[in-house]
Amino acid sequence: MPKVAERYLEIDPYRIIEKGFHPEKNAVSESIFSLGNEYSGIRGFFEEGISLPSLIGTYYNGILEYALEDTPSAYKGIVKRTHFTINSTNYLKLRIEVDGQTLDLANVEIQDYERVLDMRNGLLTRRFRWKVGGQWIDVSFARLLSMTRPHLAYQRVSFKAEKDASLRISFHLDGTILHWGKHNYWEKGVAKENELYLRTPTTGQSLLTVEDIVAPVSCHAHRIEDKEVASFYEVRLPEQEEVCFERFVSAIASKSGASYEDLSPEAQSDLIQAKELGFAGLLKENEDFFSAHYAKSDIIIDGDASDQQGIRFCIFQMLSAFHGLEFGNNIGAKGLTGEAYSGHAFWDSETYCLPYYLFNDQEAAKSLLMFRYFTLPEARQRAFDLDCVGACYPIATRNGKEACTLWQHASTQLQPTSAVAYAIFHYMNLYDDEVFMKDYGAEMLGEIAKFLFSRGQWNAAHTHFGYYGVMGPDEFQLMVAHNAYTNFMGKKSMEYALSVLEDPRYGSPALLQKLGIDEAWKAKVREACDAMLILFDPKTNLFEQHKGYFDLPHIDIDQIPVEDFPLYSHWSYDRIYRNDMIKQPDVLMFLFLYNQDFPAEVIKANYEFYEPRCIHESSLSPSIHSILAAQIGKNKEAADFFGFATRLDLDDYNRNTCEGLHMTSIAAAWMNIVYGFLGLRSDRPVLKIAPTLPARWSHYGVKLTYRGLPLRFDVYEDHVDIESLEGTVALSYRDEIVYVEGKVRLCR
């Protein structure tokens, strides 16, 4: 794999540490030091501003806008106007001046710089010494997003001078930030001292941000403009005495567009509570939040501190992006850490992110699924737009509507729809939640099956069924016939839907009538499933990725210069499509999802054929390769891919961390350990494990919850300890059922 790490951060099990300022990494650090609490997210930009490439970003889950203009197109089914999560009010903005010198780290002399993100409590701190005239000023910052009081944020800045100095500092609520650096998507609303209320022009949503500044002196001036308010302070810095300012913020985003008058009482009440708690109280609540989650979902690695830091960063960011705070939220591909992918959620939510919550928090997992139920009307409309029936889930969305204006993705990729079916199957496999299936799941599955059947076609001779003109997960192959992933997942999705609809607990006459499904339709779907064309050669054990793939020109991906990455930025669009190079796992992906359907020799043959052709241009990629490599005994490859997956952002492997964190890689790193090294398989009713131990580790421990029972797995060189303290759990180990109650030790 030609990609290499660019490591500049210190290694620590619970902290992300930057020692010494790295201006060339400023935008990368802004992503890595992001904070989030699912309700909102804020990038790790400098409060005081800096004259370097920077993305000042504050984002709210579900607050979005539409593009100013339609994408020119006269063709039916092509999305004309996209939507996206918008950049919002910057409530951390400061402007700082000491003895007439403005603080801008790109233009001043500093020493002893250190920035730390503590993953035990979500506290981000930064400190350095700033040379002003003939003396050094100690400057420190702290910021915090409350994990339990989602509207609340906290900021602190303090100064200590060697001798007397004069400080001028201003605090801003800035609603003028440009999204993508081009346009501000907010209309003026209400601006008062320490309050800013704004509205979106087309979606009619609103955001009220209020602050309470605790300062050693009174504010001497306010400035109030349409989209920005500021408070100005002047104070002497006494010799060797610390001067501290605190800012408490309540920011309430209303998807329904609530008025200033409706939101203001709640915001003011939030501030009163925040000040009563103070910084120590807010920090303690965050510590308790993370401690409780780590107690049931932490992963411990002995033997490689880099891997330990990497996986804990991934768990921290998963909790920051989503933890079931609000029913029906989703996880954007960048979480709430940047503007790449426009805040959109993809099929990653169901295939990569969901497993973490399935094994840690059932309600959070159900909440992710409910996003797809709440947006079922939009999926129905999308199927209609594509001349089909049923429900077609979008390739990219924030509100359930298709947001991708690239027809080759939006109109030809069916994996979001089959991913929703798989997610329901996966959830039910673990929880057998009859209420969910009866009230929500069965209806979704019925609509999914209707779409997948209407989108598929018979060949001219009516001997096989499949999908024509599609793009599989690979995305480097366009408008192909019989993509193996698409055909296989389509077959599985329709078969599962039929089994559910024929179950009297779920397939009630009322539901079938609502869906327009009768016995004749079911028979046609069964016929199509039986005739689905899966391109498989039993002699070689290879699935052909799509019809004609084996005949494509070959490219040696190891000869591609590292400077060419990311390829989308350095190669012409059509050049990428003209060879057998793979962006991300395609055949290997369905071999992972339905892993126990395939014998080991089939998995091994396909891994060895497709892995050398994969360029890993997607964060979806390295973890799946690592998982399958571990399964077939390629332990070094598995460990190497894991290092790539878990530190994709921390070490900027793809040279695009500056755009925001890769939530899929973050979720997949957790899967990498649980499904890879622990060998867990959850595609059958009984959980299966097959642990392996990377050579560079002496031990690892995994905590998860299975069917409501907390479990702990500790894997050593010669044995595995499994512990269940709250009940008896049946697991499959070496093809035998093991009943775990208390602690059980198994030989490896």
Q: Is 6 a residue whose pLDDT tops 90?
A: no
**Share above pLDDT 90 across residues of the chain, in percent, rounded to a whole number:** 91
How does residue 2 score in pLDDT terms, banded at 50, 70 and 90?
Answer: low
Identify whether 622 is preceded by a cis peptide bond (ω within 30 of 0): no
| Angle at the Cα of 119 from the Cα atoms of 117 and 120, rounded to 5 degrees | 125
Mean pLDDT value across the chain: 96
Please write the tens of the pLDDT for every residue from 421-475: 999 999 999 999 999 999 999 999 999 999 999 999 999 999 999 999 999 999 9
Mean pLDDT, rounded, for 260-270: 98
CB 383 within 8 A of CB 392: yes
Residue 98 has pLDDT above 60, yes or no: yes
Over 70: is that where the pLDDT of 534 sits?
yes
349-364 residue pLDDT tens: 999 999 999 999 999 9
- Residue 258 clears pLDDT 90, i.e. is over it: yes
State pLDDT tens for residues 25-34.
Answer: 999 999 999 9
Task: Report the C-alpha gap between 414 and 426 in whole angstroms.
Answer: 18
Residue 28, pLDDT score: 97
How many helices (H) and strands (E) the chain has is answered by 21, 29
Structure confidence at residue 70 as a pLDDT band (50, 70, 90): confident
pLDDT at 323: 96
Q: Which two structure tokens, joined as six digits, stand for 164?
A: 């007397």
Q: What percent of the chain has pLDDT over 70?
A: 100
- Average pLDDT for 650-659: 88
Q: Is the pLDDT of residue 173 over 60?
A: yes
Least confident interval from 50-54, 495-499, 572-576: 572-576
Contact yes or no for 675/352 (Cβ under 8 A): no
Q: Which residue has the tokens 């796992």?
A: 585
CA distance 144 to 747: 45
pLDDT at 5 over 80: no
Q: Is pLDDT at 74 greater than 80 in this prediction?
A: no
Query: Is the sign of the CA dihedral 606, 611, 614, 618 positive or negative?
Result: positive
pLDDT class of 3 with cuts at 50, 70, 90? low
pLDDT at 408: 92
Residue 71 clears pLDDT 60, i.e. is over it: yes
- Which class for 79: exposed (0-12), middle (13-18), buried (19 or more C-beta within 10 A)? buried
Task: State pLDDT tens for residues 392-431.
Answer: 999 999 999 999 999 999 999 999 999 999 999 999 999 9
DSSP codes joined into one string, 658-700:
GG---HHHHHHHHHIIIIIIS--B-SSSSEEE-----TT-SEE
Domains of the chain and any CATH numbers: 33-269 (2.70.98.40), 392-533 (1.50.10.10), 698-748 (2.60.420.10)
Cis peptide before 13 (omega within 30 of 0): no
Structure-token match 């994709």, residue found = 648
